[in-house]
Amino acid sequence: MKLPTTDALAARARAALDRIGAAVPEGTGLAARSPITGEDLFGLRPSSPAETAAAIGAAAEAFTAWRTTPAPVRGNLVRVLGELLRAHQDDLAELITVEAGKIRSEALGEVQEMIDICEFAVGLSRQLYGRTIASERPGHRLAETWHPLGVVGVISAFNFPAAVWSWNTAVALVCGDAVVWKPSELTPLVAIGASHLLDRAIAEVDAPRDVHRLVLGGRDVGERLVDDPRVALVSATGSTRMGRAVGPRVAARFGRSLLELGGNNASVVAPSADLDLALRAVVFGAVGTAGQRCTTLRRLIIHRDVADEFVTRLANAYAGLPIGDPFDDRTLVGPLISGTATDAMAQALDKAVAEGGELVCGGERLAPTYVRPAIVRMPHQNGIVREETFAPILYVLTYDAFGEAVALHNDVPQGLSSSIFTRDQGEAERFLASDGSDCGIANVNIGTSGAEIGGAFGGEKETGGGRESGSDAWRAYMRRATNTVNYSGTLTLAQNVSFL
């Protein structure tokens, strides 16, 4: 496997940042690293506790001016950001490939997602609708209005190092909030590049300079956002374990949290399914981003009548997957984020076999951070199948009756994304019904990965319950006020109460 050198990757990263215009805060304490070689590119200086506190304070001060800026004017900031993202799409994609290991088309797709959410948010800036409510009292108007919330702390993960930030930030900014971003310590260069583009947009439209601040570092920096009472909302993306720590700590100070946590996503393949369509969707869902999406397909629940044929075709497709340098346009499977991730995959496969699983194909470690995607047929859904391993492992389970498939699908702690492949309309509708899939995302004849920004993104159960991106997800970033206006000239109490 021929891969670029670490020096070449460092040069590519520096060149991309230079084109963006961003300076690198070099130092010690934090390393920019590439999973392509598994080696450090160069050292960075993390934010100190004092700097993190100052960033939060500056954002809180900027909020006092930003919240009274008209929403369409706030939208103009996001419009300019979208234009800069479009101009530097290749540069940000370059950084994403260097630091997250995504293949070129997926890296470009992530930046396109950022552009898309900016366009969505600009339109949203003129649609932050309240409502008028019928009052029971004559001469009264009852209404509901929405107001900016405050400082939003965004804690993002390595697998979508820029897109998840943009989902939160574009919407939060048009809602009138200030943002403090703590990116994954595994992808600081992407954050430096994206944040600088927003700094340029802020300067161009003369918005408050500190309406967005970037802080770099590890868990300790994130904890300061979690615990600071000046941070009104903490939007955190990561593991369920992380969510168990963040949620109670934010709640203890009566703050808000928006949690996007683990997924153990499944697709049901019914006997009537278009198997050609299902095959392509399953391969991308299970293998895209080297199995490191929160929406990655991890469980395939397939009808017994078509299971053997489909698994054989699936294994043949896996055998032809090009694995290697993500900068090579022919590559479809890049690296896992670290050697620790490859170790976790090996341990999960060992557990699966020990629990009665049959390794159909894959699982070999090809380099310190490279693996061959694996398919494992499982006799039951216990043990390791109920856990999320952030790696390209697809567990295959069979069913006989549709109700059994739905029960298997729902019988895991997580509830993010789901899909069914069927040409039976009744099965499709049952899967989407209230007693069907229990996930936040439920699809028909398309895979579990690749959500559009127009719909709210998020899941149920141990996935955290948060919603980001489109639809009415904007409400999480605002506070609601119920207003009663009495223009009657007399005081009429509700519920016919008589007093004085």
How many angstroms separate the CA atoms of 441 and 459, rounded?
Answer: 7
Q: List the structure tokens of 228.
A: 């600071």
Map residue 340 onto helix, strand or coil: helix
Map residue 182 onto helix, strand or coil: strand
Radius of gyration of the chain (CA): 24
How many angstroms separate the CA atoms of 443 and 208, rounded?
Answer: 41
Among the listed residues 94, 99, 185, 260, the single catalytic one is: 260
Q: Would you say 128 and 474 are in contact if contact means Cβ atoms under 8 Å apart?
A: yes
How many angstroms separate the CA atoms of 63 and 150, rounded?
Answer: 6
Element (H, E) at 457: strand 456-457
Mark out the alpha helices in 335-419 (DSSP H runs).
339-354, 402-410
Query: Crossing angle of helices 402-410/425-432, nearest 10°?
Result: 30
Nearest-5° angle of CA 380, CA 382, CA 383?
135
Query: Minimal CA–CA distance to 165: which of 152, 175, 150, 176?
Result: 152
Query: Minimal CA–CA distance to 124: which of 472, 421, 356, 442?
Result: 472
Residue 162 backbone phi and psi in degrees, to 5: -120, -35
Whether 39 is catalytic is no
Any idea which residues carry the catalytic annotation?
260
